[in-house]
Copies of this chain bind each other. A is one copy, B any other.
Amino acid sequence: MSSPAVHSGPGEHDHESRPLRADARRNRERVLEAASTVFAEEGIEASVAEIARRAGVGVGTLFRHFPTKHDLLLATLEVGFDEIVVAVDEALATDDSWAGLAHVLTVCAEIQARDRGFLDAVGPELFAEPSLQLRNAERMELLTRLVERARADGVVRDDLRAEDLPFLLSALGGATRTCGNTQQAAPTDLWRRYLGIILDGIRPSGATPLPVSAPTLEQLTARCRSASGS
């Protein structure tokens, strides 16, 4: 049972420096909070100026704590990551390996559906991110346990790999984006329909041989590293 990591202790160490001053710590918190709500509502293209204004600080302060807009975005994703880790733990604690796998994918999709920033962020960059590299490896191992168990139980097609899950989640993200539950009106849960189709697609019953084999974790991170270094 791996518990969600604590990302900001009271001392908040960057690289390897001392704790932040009290006011700095509060400002950092405010920026992070403002960014979370703004990114969740407006997505990646929200302006840092608006976030700074909403946080009641100058833009310089924002960039002091988060050197780049992308860093700030990554920081806002942490709570979603923790939710996913919890979901995986819950899944591994269940006997029903299919229900567990479906639960993980559902939780991921729910986060994407309610947080436009998270939706925009899913993609190769998340694997390219050096700051996430280690934790990604840990998560991948958990996912591998989940998928292996489901395969052993015969509840998923036997050519399914843990490395497929990020891509399937990305696919679901594409559908969710098009479902357009971005803002106003009745926020639809149409994405559940396409999650259902994808889930049926990884079941063993109607499985047809796939034309391409799954990527290895090395290929996954290698591809992304080269993509981010262009």
A interface with B by C-beta (< 8 Å):
122-124, 157, 164, 166-168, 170-175, 177-180, 182-185, 188-190, 192-194, 196-215, 223-224, 226-227, 230
Contacts and interface: CB of A to CB of B under 8 A. Distances in A.
Nearest to A160: B197
A179 B123 CA distance: 8
A208 B226 contact: no
Given A197-B198, A197-B201, A206 B208 contact: no
Nearest to A119: B174
Given A123-B177, A197-B201, A199-B201, 5 more contacts: A170-B175, A188-B223, A196-B212, A203-B208, A204-B206
Nearest to A212: B193
A124 to B, nearest CB: 4
Given A180-B224, A182-B227, A184-B230, A200 B192 contact: no
13 contacts: A122-B174, A170-B175, A171-B172, A171-B174, A171-B175, A180-B224, A180-B227, A193-B211, A200-B201, A200-B207, A201-B202, A204-B206, A205-B205
